Structure 1
Amino acid sequence: MDYIHYLKVERGLSENTVSSYKNDLVQFVFFLEQKEITDFSAITRQIIVDFLELEANQQKATSSIVRSVTSLRKFFQYMIEEGIIQNDPMELIDAPKKNEHLPEVLSTSEVERLLATPDVSKPLGLRNRAILELMYATGLRVSEVINVQLADLHLSLGLIQTIGKGQKERIVPVGDKAILWIERYLSEVRPKLLKKQSSNFLFLNHHGKKLTRQGIWKNLKADVLTAGIEKNVTPHTLRHSFATHILENGADLRIVQELLGHADISTTQIYTHLSKRRLAEIYGKYHPRA
């Protein structure tokens, strides 16, 4: 489909985002087929409303419906720009409001327990420790972690390059502890995993291939269980924890925005709510009249 090619090449969206938009459109096209609608110019606002009501009746999460609205809005904007349709049926469609939901964050003591969990006497344990240290030290997304290449490392300068959403490159500082574990992984483990193969990627699986998102998820879940942490921890939890902890320690919101690679500072502002919630928890715990 030309539109999917447009999203990948001209918009530079990530594979995950493109896949999500594609899945939303497949669902919409299936709905149109059920209604025997074959002409996109015949699609009206009411047809869009009927589709969104169907998704709501199927008990889809509000976040999924919001994304469907976004997917359809971008698709019909593209159709108008290409001259395929004249009127935008999404013009008067409002997305449902997302439920207020603050992401889970680990305390500093929980982070320390998690980081100490991998068995660093074993090659894969040392690799996993290096991954966790890097994620907490930089706030990188899991998709960015698996795509880090050797050429992106500037450890002597305490920096790492990464490509984020929208193919935007940024340079992120890396702390001394994370550098220590990455260097140990590079010297003690990576050559063993690589064997006689070659790879530009930093983190490898036991076959010497690029580590996957699923691989990091699986290893993290096991480490969380071993650490006795009862929170719902995902790779993104380390990113949330990174941002919250540096804000709590006085970092400027604009700096956090740059470190996380957020295009809009409103996305970063959620972490001010998290740090305020943390302050309220500390007050409630330690103030004698709380």
Structure 2
Amino acid sequence: MHLHGKGRKERVLPLWKHTSAAVRAWMRTLPTEPTQALLPNRFGQAMSRSGVEERLQRAVSAATSGCPSLRDRNVSPHVVRHSTAMALLQSGVDLAVIALWLGHKDVSTTHQYLEADLAMKERALATLQPPETKAPRYSPKADVLAFLDSL
């Protein structure tokens, strides 16, 4: 799927087969113009950012019957984007792939997701064993003690 995102960046994303089939079925209901937006507004134009937010809020409202905790959350397109990136990271997807997926020019921009994931840090810490060694007690040599006495 080709997407045009923020800053007019174009992204190419793979889809699951069942998602691709659903998109193709949806496209058959749309006019067959090559520039037709996949998710048009009521005028047939590409949906605006506020239109996307409004549709997402409708979906969240509908989903609250099955998941009441959604009432207490602010779900925005950015939250969906961030959650998707975190799910990819937690699934073991390479950070460079996530950066490409999100349209980041530099992997360092995507690095913030590594910093944000406390659960991953806790799992990594749980795999480590604390060191079993004790630090030896320091015993100064006679010449060091003599020097210190002379001060």
| C-alpha distance after superposition, 1:23-76 (max 9, x if no partner) | xxxxxxxxxxxxxxxxxxxxxxxxxxxxxxxxxxxxxxxxxxxxxxxxxxxxxx
CA distance in 2 between counterparts of 1:170 and 1:198 reads 18
| Maintained 8 Å contact 1:161/1:169 | yes
Q: 1:281 to 1:226 in 2, by over 3 A?
A: farther
CA distance in 2 between counterparts of 1:248 and 1:205 reads 34
| Maintained 8 Å contact 1:199/1:209 | no
Q: Which has the higher helix share?
A: 1
Q: 1:216 to 1:244 in 2, by over 3 A?
A: same
Counterpart of 1:190 in structure 2 is: 30
Counterpart of 1:217 in structure 2 is: 53
Q: In the TM superposition, what are the counterparts of 1:160-239 in structure 2 within 5 Å?
A: 160-164=1-5, 167-187=8-28, 189-191=29-31, 200-228=36-64, 229=70, 230-239=72-81
SS of residue paired to 1:162: strand
Q: 1:213 to 1:172 in 2, by over 3 A?
A: same
Q: 1:170 to 1:221 in 2, by over 3 A?
A: closer
Displacement of 1:272 after TM fit?
1.5
| Maintained 8 Å contact 1:170/1:261 | yes
Counterpart of 2:87 in structure 1 is: 245
| RMSD across aligned positions (CA) | 3.0
Q: 1:220 to 1:162 in 2, by over 3 A?
A: closer
Q: 1:264 to 1:277 in 2, by over 3 A?
A: same
Counterpart of 1:277 in structure 2 is: 118
Displacement of 1:238 after TM fit?
1.5
Displacement of 1:209 after TM fit?
3.0
Q: In the TM superposition, what are the counterparts of 1:86-125 in structure 2 within 5 Å?
A: none
| C-alpha distance after superposition, 1:219-238 (max 9, x if no partner) | 11122122121321101111
Gapped regions of structure 1 (runs ≥ 5): 1-159, 283-290
| C-alpha distance after superposition, 1:79-135 (max 9, x if no partner) | xxxxxxxxxxxxxxxxxxxxxxxxxxxxxxxxxxxxxxxxxxxxxxxxxxxxxxxxx
The letter for the 2-side match of 1:238 is V
CA distance in 2 between counterparts of 1:256 and 1:268 reads 7
SS of residue paired to 2:13: strand
Displacement of 1:198 after TM fit?
8.7
CA distance in 2 between counterparts of 1:180 and 1:280 reads 38
Q: 1:218 to 1:167 in 2, by over 3 A?
A: closer
Work out which of the two has the higher radius of gyration on C-alpha atoms and give 1 or 2: 2
Tell me which of the two structures has the higher relative contact order, counting C-alpha pairs closer than 8 angstroms and 6 or more residues apart. 1
Displacement of 1:263 after TM fit?
1.4
**Under a length normalisation based on structure 2, what TM-score does the superposition of the two structures give?**
0.63
Q: State the identity as a percent.
A: 32
Q: 1:165 to 1:232 in 2, by over 3 A?
A: closer
Q: 1:222 to 1:171 in 2, by over 3 A?
A: closer
The number of residues matched between the two structures is: 118
Q: 1:172 to 1:217 in 2, by over 3 A?
A: same
Q: For 1:266, which of 82, 92, 108 is the aligned residue? A: 108
**Under a length normalisation based on structure 1, what TM-score does the superposition of the two structures give?**
0.35
